Every structure is written in structure tokens, then in C-alpha cells.
Amino acid sequence: MNLDRINRVYLIGVGGIGMSALARYFNALGKEVAGYDVVSKPLTQRLESEGVIIHYEDEPDLIPSAFTQNKKKTLIVYTPAVPSNHKELNYFREKGYTVLKRSEVLGEISKTKTCLAVAGTHGKTSVSSLIAHLLNQSSGGCNAFLGGVTKNYQSNVIVNPRSPLMVVEADEFDRSFLQLNPNMAVITSMDADHLDVYNNEKSIHKAFEEFTGRLPEQGVLLYHHKVPLRKEATQNLQAYTYSLQAEADFYPANLTISDGKYRFDLVTPRETLHGFSLPLPGLVNVENALAALSLAYLQGIERESLYKNLNSFQGIERRFDIRFHKDKLLYIDDYAHHPVEIAYTIRSVREFYPNKRITGIFQPHLYSRTQYFAKEFAESLEMLDELILLDIYPAREEPIEGVTSQLILNHIQNTPALLTSKKELMNVLSNRHVETLMTLGAGDIDQMVGPIHDMMKKRAAKE
């Protein structure tokens, strides 16, 4: 499909993080962009302020007339979260429009660029955002499609039509990353997840190996040294590993903390680059920075640019996002929604802010994920000093009988914990003395970030 011939793009589910990136990309290219989403929220409101036309009822009559007049010049994009009985989706299908999944559109764009794809069951948003920043601030620039809003750009997309480079977050859900055409790739992790799609861990591993198979012969593959790729999956590739330890091709040396920053040297297979500084807290961010620096180095980005722009990276909304810090009070918001991610995040808080009492608020994401990993969630959450557990955010799923947040609570043994609703959360917090507070989850828990921030600010003013 030739996207240059498209004048209009209509997105069903436009308010999703991946869909909104496509909306912004096509809008920046001068195409007319419109779409549907379930509810108005800060991200859709930003899109509307940027010129994207959005409505919030599933009614074909509400589709702007310009998008129903020339089907050959109009592209319809939808997300897998949209139900099969969606009226607008079926309208476009019945009328013979070109209707593609988000992943298929990203695949088409990746055919026209040198594509750097970042995959992994966790860590991919942070690594891809760091790579995008390092490349975009270099002399050549880049395009980028990200799974989070970067603070440097206040966006989840970077558009630079003149640049041949494209950084993309390669999502394993719905096997979406198998639509991409990468020239270089990173794999951060291959933990069991999305078992509603893959059934078992072996199936997940197979999909990731299919992803590496989409690299061209002698294409560059960088992966975490604990990722269990079979040797056959790396044959005919320029394959490298990275790790916080020295048993990999890329690793940090002389890692210290001073003036609120991590400082380290980068050991590569060819040489050692000295004197990097990272302003983000948490060893998990050092590991993410290591992956990003390593791929940017392999891409040939100039060294001085790497030094300067790692230090200028401001982070990503909802990724170890320090929302309030004054005196003894600290509030961190994070998207972590898998047991391994949660453990990494809590461990990073303990490491960077030792001796603090940590209260965590966790909203489970998906009934299926809760069902599969209830025990593992409990083990990770017991790293907290206190847990407040919210009801499950269902996202794209129907309820599963007997599956509630109580499943996780039943496995909690060594940490004080309670179950409450999102509606009652602020009342629960008002009766608690918290020192370090974390919100964790991929659902709509982000709606509580503002109220919690305001609460922490008021408490700091009183103390």
C-alpha cells in the first residue's frame, strides 16, 4: 500500500497510546485526521487541540463527511481492542474501504525507513524513548513511534520526514511486532505475558524468534543477556548482548551515584567510552540507558552527541515518574503491570531511596493476567511496606468468573494489605501517613495521579 496516496486517515480507538502516535504522525504530514474513542481524556483532548477531529459515540452518522466521500484516498486504522461488532468499523468494511490494524500501518511505514525496533515484555517504552532522543538530537534526527509520552517532547511521536531513521516500539500483543520490517532490533525481555494470546511461555519465545527472523541478513540484534534466545535465532545476524554485569558485549563500568545522577563508563566490544551521566533514578533506568546507548553506538551516532543527550533526557510520563518530592514526602507513578516490572520498580526505589517506608497502590490490568500471575504479583508486591490494592481494570476483556483482585490479596502474607475501589482511594489515603508513595498499573489509575499529587503537596505544606 502506498501511504503517499492517502489524503485522510480515520482511527477507531484514536485515544490509545499507539493509535494517537499514528494520528499525530499523519497530522504532522499534512493529512486530514479524525477518529473515534470511547471517552474524552487528556490524550484525546491534546489531539483535538492539535487539529484531530474526534467524537465519542459509535455512530457512523457522526463520521465527518469528508471521510466518507473518497474511499481510495482514505485509510481506516483500528486497534485490536475494538470489538468485532463496532458499528463504525463494520460500516467502513462493508463500504469497501482500506481497513488496517495499527500494526499493519506501522509495518507499511517501516518499509520506507531504516527501522530500529525495540521489543520486550517490559522495558521497551523506556529503551525506545531513550534511543529516539539520542537519535533525534544527533545530526541526522529520526522519526519515532513510542508507547509513552516523553517529557522532552511532550509527545509519543517524533516526526522528521527528511530523516531515513525510524524508531518504533515493537509490541508483542496480538503478535503486532511480526508486521514490522526492522533493520536493527533490541529485545529487552521475554517473560511470560499476554497468555490470552500466546497460551504458554514457549509460544511467546517462538514469536520473539520469529521477530528476530524479520531482520535482514547481517542485521543488528541487541538483546539482554538473560533473554533465552536459541542460537538458531541469532544466526546470520550481528548479535550483541547487554547487561549490568560484565558477562555481556556491552556493560557499564565504574558505576557510581553523585549529585543525584548515575555516572558510568560504557564498555563496548571495541572500546570503552568514559564519563556518561544519567539524571534518572533507579538501576532499571541504567539498564535501559545501557541498551539505548549500545544501539545508538552501533548505529554510528557521534560520541559527543551520546554524552550530551543522555544527560539531557528528562524521562517518560508514567515510567518511574517522580511526581512530587519535598523533604520526607516522595510520590512516584509507574506503568508497571507485570510481576517482573513491579519487582524491578520497587527494587529501584529501595536502591535509590534507602530507608524509606514505601506504600504502594496497585491496580491489576486484565482479568487474564491476574488469573495467570496472582501468586507472582503477590510475591513482587510483598517488597512494599504496605499495599493498597484496587479492583481489576478490564481493558479489552470481559470478566472471568471468580477472578478479582482478591486472588492477589489471598497470596499476600508478609505485608499489610487492603483492597479498595478507585472511588474510595482518596478517603483511604487521607487516613494514612505515607512517606514514599507509589502508584502502579497500566489501567486508568493515571486518573488518580493529579489528586494524589495535590494531596502530597498539601501535606508537605503542613509539615
Contact (CB, 8 A) for 322 and 281: yes
Q: What is the pLDDT of residue 110?
A: 95
Beta carbons of 436 and 353 less than 8 angstroms apart: yes
Are 342 and 420 found together in one domain?
A: yes
Residue 249 in any domain: the answer is yes
Q: Both 199 and 289 in a single domain?
A: yes
In DSSP notation, 159-171 reads: --TT--EEEEEE-
CATH of the domain at 32: 3.40.50.720
Residue 231 lies in a domain: yes
Residues 120 and 175 in one domain: yes
Do 16 and 118 belong to one domain?
A: no
Look up cell 517532547; give the residue: 153
* CB distance 150 to 106 below 8 Å: no
Domain boundary among 79, 102, 125: 102
Q: Quick one: 348 and 451 in the same domain?
A: yes
Q: Which of 248, 280, 250 is nearest to 263 (CA)?
A: 280
Strand partners, 385: none
266 with 173, same domain: the answer is: yes
Beta bridge partners of 334: 440
> In the prediction, which pLDDT does 66 show?
94
Tracing cell 463520521 back to the chain, one arrives at 63
Q: Is 25 in contact with 112 (CB distance < 8 Å)?
A: no
Query: Nearest CA to 319 among 454, 189, 450, 438?
Result: 438
Instruction: Take residue 152 and report the three cell numbers written for it.
Output: 522532552
| Cα gap 425→448, rounded to integer Å | 9
pLDDT confidence of residue 395: 80
CATH code of the domain covering residue 382: 3.90.190.20
Using DSSP, state whether 440 is helix, strand or coil.
strand
| CB contact burial 230-260 (16+ within 10 A = b; e otherwise) | eeebbeebebbbbbbeeebbbbbeeeeeeee
Q: What is the pLDDT of residue 175?
A: 84
Are residues 361 and 411 located together in one domain of the fold?
Answer: yes
| Residue 452 domain flag | yes
Task: Please indicate, yes or no, if residue 107 is contained in any of the structural domains.
Answer: no
Torsion of CA 347, 351, 355, 361, to 10 degrees: -30
Q: What is the CATH number of the domain that holds 139?
A: 3.40.1190.10
CA 205 to chain centre: 20
Q: List alpha helices for 121-272, DSSP H.
A: 124-136, 195-198, 201-212
Q: Is residue 199 part of a domain?
A: yes
DSSP count for the chain of H helices, then E strands = 14, 21
In a domain, 108, yes or no: no
Split into its structural domains, the chain has a count of: 3
Q: What is the pLDDT of residue 282?
A: 81
CA 283 – CA 36 distance, rounded (Å): 39
Q: Which of residues 59, 83, 102 is at a domain's end?
A: 102
Domain end point (choices 43, 73, 102): 102
146 SS3 class: strand
The count of other CB atoms within 10 Å of the CB of residue 410 is: 12
Can you give the residue range of the structural domain that contains 282? 113-311
pLDDT in tens, the chain (463 residues): 788 899 999 999 999 999 999 999 999 999 999 999 998 988 999 999 999 999 999 999 999 999 998 899 999 999 988 988 999 999 999 999 999 999 999 999 999 999 999 999 888 999 999 999 999 999 889 999 999 999 999 999 999 989 999 999 998 877 889 999 999 999 999 876 655 666 777 888 899 999 999 999 999 999 999 999 998 899 999 999 999 988 899 999 999 988 878 999 999 999 999 999 999 888 889 999 999 999 999 999 999 999 999 999 999 988 889 999 988 899 999 999 889 889 989 998 888 888 889 999 999 999 999 998 999 999 999 999 999 999 999 887 889 999 999 999 999 999 999 999 999 999 999 988 899 999 999 889 999 999 999 999 998 888 7
Are 300 and 325 part of one and the same domain?
Answer: no
Query: In this structure, is residue 316 part of a structural domain?
Result: no
How remote is the C-alpha of 274 from its chain's centroid? 29
**Residue 424: Cβ within 10 Å count:** 10
pLDDT score recorded for residue 284: 86
What separation in angstroms does the CA of 412 have from each of 211, 387, 393, 405, 409?
Answer: 37, 9, 20, 11, 5
Torsion, Cα 409 412 415 420, to 10 degrees, reads 0
- Is the domain of 274 the same as that of 338? no
Q: Are residues 123 and 215 in the same domain?
A: yes
Of residues 180, 178, 203, 181, the one with CA closest to residue 190: 203
334 falls within a domain: yes
The three cell numbers of residue 9 are 486517515
